[in-house]
A and B are shown apart, each in its own frame.
Chain A
Amino acid sequence: MSGMAGPGSDSLERPQGLRAWLDAEEPTSLRQARAQRAWRGWQAFLGHRLGVVGLVLVVGLVLVALFAPWLATYDPLIQVMDERLQPPSAAHWLGTDHLGRDIYSRIVWGARTTLRIAVLVAVIVAPIGLAIGATAGYLGGIADEVLMRVTDIFLAFPGLILALGFAAALGPGINNAIIAIALTAWPPIARLARAEALTIRSSDYIAAVRLQGASRTRLIARHVVPMCLPSVVVRVTLNMAGVILTAAGLGFLGLGAQPPWPEWGAMVAVGRQFMFDSPWVVAAPGIAIAVISLAFNLFGDALRDMLDPRSA
């Protein structure tokens, strides 16, 4: 039970406290070593000021999405025809749209749509990319050739175009848009996981596990995949800005969330015809999209700089 060597058990011979435990020269347990690595990573991350700004904004998005019912000042769907296209005021912080709906409240609720797309795409794309990439990289040979050929075919289309095609085929709707985006977002992840698996497959500990008689499935799932995971997580974060922009593009073209449900891209599209007289209808949701993709870009860049100092 080496994991029990927590803050309490060291307290006799070392300065007390969590901080001291984290800063200790030599970790005495696996858990302490892991915690220390995370702690040092966190401290290095705090050095990236822009990355911290990005993280704060991403956390802000999550909070806004979670607490939307309390943050919104109006029902996002309620139409008040007497108050259509009102400029920003004390009653309507960001004005109202052509149906008299409060734009601020629609943006707050729209954060849920954006978060849902981001989370679901990540949840779909990471396992698929990992499974395909790790399998191809570890097995090599024909399996590698076939899987990477398929990956290349998906990469042979510009991302938005392919997502457009799939979204059109599947029909409009938020879930179909998520599937369409995921279909176009997994290939870079698979390529990355494959590259990682290629370097892992020849290492000694893999040979040792293989000699112990582990099956291929077990080897890939228990020993190759976990090693690929960190770089995949970073890559998914980095790609999230692109995912959000693609989702907004689909929404703008009418293929994402369907009206009247608030989605930022669709809000820009609907506001277009009223833009010249009431620019706030278009300005606010566009800024929301830009801020969130900027946040993911900053956060992702900082993560990458931390893990790969060469590209800094």
Chain B
Amino acid sequence: MSVSSARTVPGPPAARARRARLGRLVGRTVSLALTLLGLMALTFLMGRLLPADPVLAVTGFEVDRATYQRVYLELGLDRPVWEQFLSYVGGIFQGDLGRSTTTGQPVAVDLLRVFPATFELALTAAIVGSLLGIPLGIVAAVNRDRMIDHIARIIGLAGYSIPIFWMGLMALLVFYAKLRWVGASGRVDVFYEGLVPSRTGLLLVDSAIAGDWAVFRSAFAHLILPASILGYYSTAYISRMARSFMLEQLGQEYIVAARAKGLPRNAVVWRHAFKNIRVQLLTVVALVFAGLLDGTVLVETVFGWPGVGQYLTRGLQYNDMNVVMGTVLVIGLLFLAMNTLSDWLYRRLDPRTR
């Protein structure tokens, strides 16, 4: 798309450039729209086409003929597939993801309710991962093949090899059962639940606003372990990427020139090389959210964290296909949004892409 519109167009250079940019924008919008449609097609495939019998997936196996017939018609299974897909897509655009058979609520309403918990967890994890991972990766690159580099490599390898749910269980065993440092499952101790008014949905922020420090402490004790586990996995990824970006910069001639001028090594690394990898790192942090969304499903199950992941696994347990389809779609949309955002940031912030 973008290639064809960049072909020579008559007119002054400024207008040509503007038209080319508009063409690229249209191209990107079209491909984004196609990807969106594709996402919906995949979840539609999951919910309506793949199950041996979509009606039984809704009603359960013990169902009389009349109910079966009613649900069959309600699902629109008598209509052609493309018509079913269109009404599915139409429903999504009106915020209709179907109704959960276990909670009795619309899936969209449920998801809005559980989302803040996941957001709080993932955000904390991303912050932990960036604050640890970026410096670790850079220091490892600067001290290549020395002790710190080996430590960074081991942290990375462990993050890529140890199942996250198992690490969560082991952490519970040590920090909850043995040491009693942290809270068990949930976001806060039961007797603190619902004490502070929900403003942001982030319990830490809400309890701080309300000035209820007992709730704050309890919420922190519950958040710290799952967030650290998730954050560890982000650290592993981010430090690996930061290391390879930094190594690439350190091999460049301008670094040698700066060092030859007599600049101290730290100044070269942090004032010159780091400036050049900032944008790349930003896109990595955005991509980390994909891993976090994956990990959060397992971590929430382990820690009983009432977020999107636990909602999804409950849906799986009770074969609640609307919940599964809706949650998978929303996670896909979030991921797509993060990717689009990071692409956009990259183009905006990195002058080399202009």
Taking the nearest CB of chain A, how far is it from the CB of B46, in angstroms?
4
- Is the Cβ of B35 less than 8 Å from the Cβ of A254? no
- Cβ-closest chain A residue relative to B38: A153
B325 contacts A by Cβ under 8 Å: yes
Residues of chain B lying within 8 A (CB to CB) of residue A166? 46, 50
Q: Report B160-171 CB contacts with A as 1/0, cut-off 8 Å.
A: 111111100110
Query: Which of B31, B34, B47 counts the most A-chain CB atoms under 10 A from its CB?
Result: B34
Check if B188 is an interface residue, CB within 8 A of chain A: no
User: CA–CA, A252 to B293, complex, Å?
Assistant: 17
Q: Would you give the 0/1 interface string for A147-162, flagging 1 where the beta carbon is closer than 8 Å to chain B?
A: 0011011101111111
Q: Is the CB of B169 within 8 A of A275?
A: yes
Stretch of B101-109, B254-262, B331-339 that contacts chain A: B331-339
Return A228 CB to nearest CB of chain B, in Å.
24
Chain A residues lying within 8 Å of B160, measured Cβ to Cβ, are 241, 293, 297
A168/B31 in contact, CB under 8 A = no
Which residue of chain A has its CB nearest to the CB of B291? A158
CB closest chain-B residue, reference A248: B163
Residue-wise, chain A 278-304 has the 8 Å CB interface mask toward B (1 for contact) of 010011001001110110011000000
A202 within 8 A of B: no
Interface residues of A in 162-220 (CB under 8 A from B): 162, 164-166, 168-171
With contact pairs A153-B39, A164-B297, A254-B316 given, residues A249 and B325 touching in the complex (Cβ less than 8 Å): no
The interface residues of chain B lying within 8 Å CB-to-CB of A290 are 158, 161-163, 166
Instruction: Report whether A298 and B157 are in contact in the complex, using a CB–CB cutoff of 8 Å.
Output: yes
Given contacts A249-B163, A279-B173, A286-B163, are A164 and B312 in contact (CB under 8 A)?
A: yes
Chain A residues near B162 (CB-CB < 8 A): 286, 289-290, 293
Contact A152 B157 (CB under 8 A): no
Contact indicator per residue, chain B 9-26, by CB within 8 Å of chain A (1) or not (0)? 000000000000000000
Number of A-B contacts (CB under 8 A): 143
Does any Cβ of B come within 8 Å of A56's Cβ? no
> Complex Cα distance A164/B317, Å?
12
Given A152-B35, A160-B294, A164-B328, A282 and B169 contact (CB-CB distance below 8 Å)? yes
Instruction: Report the separation of the CA atoms of residues A286 and B339 in the bound assembly, to the nearest whole angstrom.
Output: 32
Cα A225 to Cα B313 with chains together (Å):
40
Contact A253 B31 (CB under 8 A): no
Select from chain A the residue with minimum beta-carbon distance to B41: A153
CB neighbours (8 Å) of B291 from chain A are 158
**Is B195 among interface residues, defined by CB-CB distance under 8 A?**
no
Q: Say if the beta carbon of B321 comes within 8 Å of chain A.
A: yes
Scoring A149, A171, A245, A294 by chain B CB atoms within 10 A of each residue's CB, the highest score goes to: A245
**How many whole Å from A99's CB to the nearest CB in chain B?**
19
Q: How near does chain B come to A53, taking the closest CB pair, in angstroms?
A: 11
Interface residues of B, dominant DSSP: helix
- Judged by DSSP, the binding face of A is helix
A21 → B minimal CB distance (Å)? 36
Q: Does B324 contact A (CB under 8 A)?
A: yes
Q: Is A272 an interface residue (CB 8 A)?
A: yes
The answer to whether A169 touches B297, judged by C-beta atoms less than 8 angstroms apart, is no
Check if A311 is an interface residue, CB within 8 A of chain B. yes
B38-A168 in contact (CB<8A): no
Give the residues in chain B near A254, CB-CB below 8 Å.
316-317
In Å, the complex CA distance between A160 and B331 comes to 11
Shortest distance between the CB of A186 and any CB in chain B (Å): 14
C-alpha gap A241/B163 in the complex (Å): 10
Please judge, given known A-B contacts A162-B328, A241-B160, A268-B166, whether A168 and B35 are in contact too, CB under 8 Å. Answer: no
List, in ascending order, chain B residues with CB within 8 A of A289's CB: 162-163, 166
Smallest Cβ-Cβ distance to B315: which chain A residue: A168
B290, CB-defined interface residue at 8 Å: yes
8 A Cβ contacts from A13-28 to B: none
- Chain A, 226-259, contact with B by CB distance < 8 Å: what is the 0/1 string? 0000000000000001000100110011110000
Asked whether A161 lies within 8 Å of B293 as measured between CB atoms, the reply is: yes
A158-B331 contact, Cβ under 8 Å, with A252-B163, A268-B166, A290-B163: yes
Residues A165 and B317 in contact, CB atoms below 8 Å apart: no
Interface residues of B in 149-186 (CB under 8 A from A): 157-158, 160-166, 169-170, 172-173, 177
B219 within 8 A of A: no
The reply to whether the CB of B63 lies closer than 8 angstroms to some CB of chain A is: no
* A249→B293 CA distance, assembly (Å): 13
Given A165-B324, A290-B166, decide whether A253 and B161 contact each other with a Cβ distance below 8 A. no
Check B91 for interface membership: any CB of A closer than 8 A. no
A157-B331, A169-B324, A293-B161 known, 18 other contacts, Cβ within 8 Å? A152-B38, A157-B39, A157-B328, A161-B331, A164-B312, A165-B43, A169-B45, A169-B47, A171-B52, A245-B161, A248-B163, A249-B163, A265-B163, A268-B165, A286-B163, A290-B162, A290-B166, A298-B157
What are 24 pairs between A and B in contact, CB < 8 Å? Answer: A157-B335, A162-B328, A165-B325, A168-B321, A169-B321, A169-B324, A171-B52, A241-B161, A245-B161, A249-B164, A249-B297, A252-B163, A253-B301, A254-B316, A268-B169, A275-B169, A276-B177, A282-B169, A286-B169, A289-B162, A293-B160, A297-B157, A297-B161, A298-B157
Q: Which chain B residues have a beta carbon within 8 Å of chain A's beta carbons?
A: 31, 34-35, 38-39, 41-43, 45-47, 50-52, 157-158, 160-166, 169-170, 172-173, 177, 244, 290-291, 293-294, 297-298, 301, 312-313, 315-317, 319, 321, 324-325, 328, 331-332, 335-336, 339
Q: Residues of A with Cβ closer than 8 Å to B?
A: 149-150, 152-154, 156-162, 164-166, 168-171, 241, 245, 248-249, 252-255, 265, 268, 272, 275-276, 279, 282-283, 286, 289-291, 293-294, 297-298, 311
